[in-house]
Amino acid sequence: MKAYLSRRYHFSASHRLHTDAYDEARNRELFGKCNNPHGHGHNYTVQVTLSGPVDPITGMVCNLGDLDAFARTHLLDRFDHTNLNMLPCFANRVSTTENLSKEIYRIFSEFALAHLENVHVEETSNNSFDYAGSRMPWNGTL
């Protein structure tokens, strides 16, 4: 029997949306106030959804202590109270929350004790992003 487990984590980080592919004027036009040269911050909420068989002895998909330890080491210690633009994973890509979602998915896909289904990242009360790896069905048209 397959069951799903979702767990939430919180961290604060700053970033500046900017790409060297465009000049300053185009960056300001494209990213607006999020292109502030001094950056801006968010209190992010990350929800990871994992799946797996329910262990017949423990009754769990995975031990939450193991998941929390993984999240602490690989997510929170890495991103909390940082400038995302300074991290190697954003050296060659814009630190949008879409790209942050992809990076968090990559991180949790290495958690070996359950199967990662998707990540959900809330940037603000109005903006949230979901990423489920290559399983995301979208053909590029609206």
Q: Which pLDDT tens digit goes with each residue over 30-81? A: 999 999 999 999 999 999 999 999 999 999 999 999 999 999 999 999 999 9
Check 10, 34, 38, 117 and give the catalytic one. Answer: 34
Residue 34 is a catalytic residue: yes
pLDDT value at position 142?
39
What pTM was estimated for this model as a whole?
A: 0.92
**Fold observed for domain 2-11+41-135:** Tetrahydropterin Synthase; Chain A (3.30.479)
Residue 120 has pLDDT above 90, yes or no: yes
State the pLDDT confidence band at 134, using cuts at 50, 70 and 90: confident
The string of DSSP codes covering 59-73 is: --SS-HHHHHHHHII
CA 86 to CA 141: how far, in whole Å? 33
Residue 89 is a catalytic residue: no
Contacts of 19 (CB under 8 A, 6+ apart): 27, 94
CA 80 to CA 129: how far, in whole Å? 18
Contacts of 89 (CB under 8 A, 6+ apart): 103
Residue 137 has pLDDT above 90, yes or no: no
DSSP code for 102 = H
